[in-house]
Structure 1
Amino acid sequence: MKYWTIDKDIREVIGSGDTDKWNMPRNVLLVEPLPAKAGFAVVAKTDLSGTEYVADHRGKTVYNKAKPLDSKQVKELGEIEDGWTLTQPPHQYVTWNQKLDDWQTDSQAKYEAELQQVTDIRASLYVQIVDRLNNEAKMIRRVEGNEAKAAEYEAQANAAYLQIRADNPWPEVPTV
């Protein structure tokens, strides 16, 4: 006699066997289950009278529509819970667009982050290079009294300042 074994907790069909009716294991399915289907688990009905398909996203990562940087692994059978999606956000500057059922770039947030990044890079380079050259020029002027040498350092500081700006341009303002 053919039977199908099921997981005792979630009733998922996990195997099959053959035996006589006297050696039949407990809690088995005696009707042939539905065929396997991609993205679904075959689960026995509560009364063991048949099977049904249940969405199976176990092991997949889902992303929070309200907080795109939050994610978690799916551990149980069933549909994805409300407020979560299987669609991975392309970057952190997105919001969920219900109409498109997809992520949409938050241009303003992206612009502000890029602007802050350029500001930070410029500030760091100014401190490391430009300010040091200007301070050296001031000290040469004050201590050595060598105006020509001080002017050379100031010219280097000015060139470095212009190069830093050229290498780190401001991002373009997003169009609304």
Structure 2
Amino acid sequence: MKHWTIDKNTREVIGSGDTDKWNMPRNVLLVEPLPAKAGFAVVAKTDLSGTEYIADHRGKTIYNKANPLESKQVEKLGEIQDGWTLTKPPHHYVTWSDELADWQVDTQAKYEAELQQVANTRESLYVQMVDRLNNEAKMIRRVEGDEAKAAEYEAQADAAYLKIRADNPWPELPEA
């Protein structure tokens, strides 16, 4: 007699076998299950009268629509929880659009982050190069009294300042 074994926790069909009616294992399906289907698990109904398809996203990463930086792995059978999506955000300057059923770039947040990045980079480079050269020029002028040598350091500081600005331009304002 043909039977199909089911997982005792998930009720998924996991195998099949043949036996006589006297040696039949418990909790088996005696009705042929539905054929396998991509993205779904074949699960026995509670009364073992047949099978049904249940969405299977186990092992996949889902992303929080309200916070694109938050993600987690799907562990159980069934549809994805409300507020989560399988669509990976392209970066973290996005918001979920129910209308598009996809991520939409938050241009203002992206602009503000780029602006802050440029400001931080410039400030760091100014401290490392421009401020040191200007301080050296002040000390040379004060301690050594060498105006020409101090002017050379100031010229280097000015050149470094202009190069830093050229290499790190401000981002363009997003279109309204």
User: TM-score, normalising length from structure 2?
Assistant: 0.99
Aligned length: 176
Aligned to 1:135: 135
- After superposing on structure 2, the runs of 4+ consecutive aligned residues of structure 1 that deviate more than 6 Å are none
Equivalent residue letter for 2:110: K
Aligned to 1:51: 51
Aligned to 2:90: 90
Aligned to 1:68: 68
Q: How does 1:98-137 map to 2 (within 5 A)?
A: 98-137=98-137
Distance in structure 1 (CA, Å) of the matches to 2:9 and 2:140: 81
Distance in structure 2 (CA, Å) of the matches to 1:10 and 1:61: 20
Q: Which runs of 5+ in 2 are unaligned?
A: none
Equivalent residue letter for 1:111: Y
Structure 2 SS opposite 1:5: strand
Equivalent residue letter for 1:101: A
Distance in structure 1 (CA, Å) of the matches to 2:127 and 2:66: 38
Aligned to 1:150: 150
Q: Which runs of 5+ in 1 are unaligned?
A: none
Distance in structure 2 (CA, Å) of the matches to 1:58 and 1:145: 75
Distance in structure 1 (CA, Å) of the matches to 2:154 and 2:74: 60
Kindly indicate whether residue 15 of structure 2 is the aligned counterpart of residue 15 of structure 1: yes
Q: CA deviation at 1:122?
A: 0.2
Q: CA deviation at 1:9?
A: 1.4
Deviation digits for residues 83-121 of structure 1 (CA, Å, limit 9, x no counterpart)? 000000000000000100000000000000000000000
Q: CA deviation at 1:166?
A: 0.3
Distance in structure 2 (CA, Å) of the matches to 1:61 and 1:25: 37
Distance in structure 2 (CA, Å) of the matches to 1:141 and 1:9: 82
Q: CA deviation at 1:10?
A: 1.4
Equivalent residue letter for 1:121: T
Q: CA deviation at 1:58?
A: 0.3
Structure 1 SS opposite 2:169: coil
Structure 1 SS opposite 2:110: helix
